[in-house]
Amino acid sequence: MNTSESKSTAPFIPLILAGDIGTYGYARSFYEQWHVKSLVFTPMVLGPIRHSRLLEVIHVDGSATDTNHVAFIEKLIEMGPELVARYPDTPLVLVANQDTHVVNIQRNASRLAPYYRFVFPSVDVIELTNDKAHFAKAAEKYGLRVPTTLELNLDDGTTALMDAITENLGDKYPLIIKPCQSYGYERLRWPGKSKVYTADSPRRARAILEELETHTAGNPDARRFVAQPRVSGNDTHSLSITVYVDADKRVSFLGSAHVLLEDHVPTALGNPAAMITESYPELYRQASDFLTGIGWHGFANFDVKVDSATGQAYFFEVNPRIGRNLYYNTAAGNNPLPALINDVIYHRPTEPKSHFDTILYTVLPLRLILKYTTGQVRRQVKSLHRAGKVFNPLLAPAERQFSLRYLRRRLYVWLSTQRHWFKFKQNYPLEALQAEGRDSFDTAQLRAQH
């Protein structure tokens, strides 16, 4: 890192942990609002941030044994005095977009606070809500609809867990099985690992539990899972909602999008890959009441799915971070980061935007989206394309320059986009969509609710 720079003229300096697409979305949103470059702490320069002019990389020596990402915390503390000297009288704003990083920052808040400014929910609130079993109970208390949720502790043994599934969920297959806590599970690696498992029969459920029993052994933070009946509907029945609550319990940001297609690669299952920004007033009210009720502070990202059979919206989880696809908000003219900066630096309120633009956010080829959508949704995709309202989060105009660096970045983005044709053919062929129901969900009723 170059430490010879003079005093920064930027209003603050963003520091972002990790190097994925969420990191680039953060850096792009910061740059487009304040024309400020971000410092990115990462052990690897991955494709989304490689060759970018919007950020500066600070390498973190994270060995394979550092599964808890402790190295990031120690690097931040080690560099704290150096960064303060490099940017005198300039706030250093620390953000993160992985659950493990968020929890680590909060658990080490007293060591980091002398150098950095940051806002996340408290550890107690994270443990209440980031745990899917606990979230289900808290959600019901505050009026959020959640699927029937059964907690599974692998320490109880597969036979006992299968008996519990039969007793509590009966024959409600297919079942979704997923870890209670992301920050205990996301750091583990093994061939065939998935973020979410689908069991279409008791036999498959037993096989999944036996696999998890083997690969999570010795990791107590990753031994608890939940089983839920699958909410019916294809990817277009999913929604994303982003909220910010400030220090005075005011909701200062609201944004949302209709998911068209999700990633179906097992390790990234459920991550939205194409979305159309829309507003959902009634769901905003429910999410806001929940967050202010439990004492939330900072960004929250909700996964919601509308049951194709009943039309009821179910809240699956709330993440203590902005979400990897945060740029969908910025692309719609609804940048979420002023809410954070006004709260953490200027200590002043921010009024959520009541209207924002309708745009298509995608990392997929347009023809692939059209191939998997139908009806009004497909027509909407075509209309947004004709209007020039299609945004790839990795293609920032500020990157453009006549240079080899820029050409390399454009080549990466093009290849990563086209690679989705193969990924979908392998992991989510049209036959799989047909089995779930081909018709795309029209969100008109949700948009009209007040």
pLDDT, residue 450, reads 58
Tokens at 390, concatenated: 């299609």
Q: What is the rounded CA–CA span in Å between residue 360 and residue 352?
A: 21
Q: What is the rounded CA–CA span in Å between residue 403 and residue 376?
A: 41
Tokens at 266, concatenated: 């097992």
Helix, strand, coil share of the chain (percent; to 5): 40, 20, 40
Give the confidence band of 5 by pLDDT, cuts at 50, 70, 90.
very low
Tens digits of residue pLDDT in 347-379: 999 999 989 999 999 999 999 999 999 999 999
Mean pLDDT of 128-156: 90
- The answer, yes or no, to whether residue 6 has pLDDT greater than 50, is no
Residues 73 and 102 in one domain: yes
Mean pLDDT of 182-199: 84
What would the DSSP string read from start to end of 201-266?
SHHHHHHHHHHHHHHTTT-GGG-EEEEEEPPP--GGGEEEEEEEE-TTS-EEEEEEEEEEEE--SG
For 81-196, list the strands marked E by DSSP: 92-95, 150-153, 175-179
Residue 132 lies in a domain: no
Average model confidence (pLDDT) across the chain: 93
Paired residues of 277 in beta bridges: 257
Paired residues of 399 in beta bridges: none
Give the confidence band of 316 by pLDDT, cuts at 50, 70, 90.
confident
- The answer, yes or no, to whether residue 26 has pLDDT greater than 90, is yes
Residue 140 lies in a domain: no
Alpha-carbon separation of residue 181 from 29, 133, 220, 226, 353 (angstroms) = 28, 9, 11, 10, 32
Residues 50 and 160 in one domain: no
Residues 85 and 169 in one domain: no
For 28-80, list the strands marked E by DSSP: 38-42, 55-59
Tens digits of residue pLDDT in 242-259: 999 999 999 999 999 999
pLDDT, residue 221, reads 81
For 110-220, list the strands marked E by DSSP: 150-153, 175-179, 197-199
Query: Regarding beta strands 251-262 and 272-277, do their DSSP bridges make them parallel or antiparallel, or are they unpaired?
Result: antiparallel
Q: What is the rounded CA–CA span in Å between residue 415 and residue 349?
A: 42
| CA nearest to 290, candidates 322, 243, 246, 342 | 243
Provide, rounded to the nearest whole percent, the portion of the chain with pLDDT above 70: 96
Residue 7 lies in a domain: no
CATH of residue 166: 3.30.1490.20
Residue with tokens 């941030």: 49
Residue 393 · residue 28 · CB < 8 Å:
yes
Tokens at 407, concatenated: 């050409």
pLDDT, residue 205, reads 94
- The answer, yes or no, to whether residue 266 has pLDDT greater than 70, is yes
Tens digits of residue pLDDT in 145-172: 999 999 999 999 999 999 999 999 988 8
Neighbours of 108 (CB within 10 A): 16
Q: CA angle, corner 354, sides to 352 and 359, nearest 5?
A: 105
Query: Regarding beta strands 175-179 and 197-199, do their DSSP bridges make them parallel or antiparallel, or are they unpaired?
Result: antiparallel
Give the relative orientation of helices 158-169 and 202-215 as an angle to the nearest 10 degrees.
Answer: 140
Distance of CA 223 to the CA centre of its chain: 22
Residue 366 · residue 421 · CB < 8 Å:
no
Mean pLDDT of 40-61: 94
Residue 92 · residue 84 · CB < 8 Å:
yes
Tokens at 132, concatenated: 């899917």
Residues 362 and 260 in one domain: yes
Residues 81 and 223 in one domain: no
- The answer, yes or no, to whether residue 4 has pLDDT greater than 60, is no
Mean pLDDT of 170-197: 86
Give the confidence band of 219 by pLDDT, cuts at 50, 70, 90.
confident
Residues 331 and 239 in one domain: yes
Give the confidence band of 449 by pLDDT, cuts at 50, 70, 90.
confident
Residue 181 lies in a domain: yes
- The answer, yes or no, to whether residue 43 has pLDDT greater than 80, is yes
Residues 267 and 153 in one domain: no
Which range, 99-108, 122-131, 190-199, 242-251, has the best average confidence (pLDDT)? Answer: 242-251
Residue 132 · residue 317 · CB < 8 Å:
yes
Residue 24 lies in a domain: yes
Residues 204 and 244 in one domain: no
- The answer, yes or no, to whether residue 111 has pLDDT greater than 80, is yes
Residue 143 lies in a domain: no
What's 117's DSSP letter?
A: B
Listed residues 202, 229, 256: the one ending a domain? 229
Residues 332 and 246 in one domain: yes
CATH of residue 263: 3.30.470.20
Give the confidence band of 184 by pLDDT, cuts at 50, 70, 90.
confident
pLDDT, residue 293, reads 94
List the 55-59 sheet strands across, edge first: 55-59, 38-42, 13-17, 92-95
Residues 319 and 400 in one domain: yes
Mean pLDDT of 220-227: 89
Residue 29 lies in a domain: yes
Give the confidence band of 189 by pLDDT, cuts at 50, 70, 90.
confident
Q: CA angle, corner 362, sides to 360 and 368, nearest 5?
A: 105
Residue 59 phi/psi, 5-degree rounding, is -75, 135
Residue 202 lies in a domain: yes
Tens digits of residue pLDDT in 407-426: 999 999 999 999 999 999 99
Residues 176 and 40 in one domain: no
- The answer, yes or no, to whether residue 136 has pLDDT greater than 60, is yes
pLDDT, residue 65, reads 52
Question: How many domains is the chain built from?
Answer: 3
Alpha-carbon separation of residue 174 from 86, 106, 213, 232, 262 (angstroms) = 55, 37, 20, 9, 19
Listed residues 189, 210, 229: the one ending a domain? 229
Residue 261 · residue 273 · CB < 8 Å:
yes
Tens digits of residue pLDDT in 67-108: 668 889 999 999 999 999 999 999 999 999 998 899 999 999
Give the relative orientation of helices 281-294 and 132-141 as an angle to the nearest 10 degrees.
Answer: 110
Alpha helices in 272-315 (DSSP H): 281-294
Residues 422 and 296 in one domain: yes
pLDDT, residue 8, reads 53
Tokens at 392, concatenated: 């790839």
Listed residues 229, 260, 293: the one ending a domain? 229
Name the residue range of residue 22's domain.
13-118
pLDDT, residue 106, reads 97
Give the confidence band of 315 by pLDDT, cuts at 50, 70, 90.
very high
Tens digits of residue pLDDT in 282-294: 999 999 999 999 9
Q: What is the rounded CA–CA span in Å between residue 23 and residue 237?
A: 27
Give the confidence band of 345 by pLDDT, cuts at 50, 70, 90.
very high
CATH of residue 66: 3.40.50
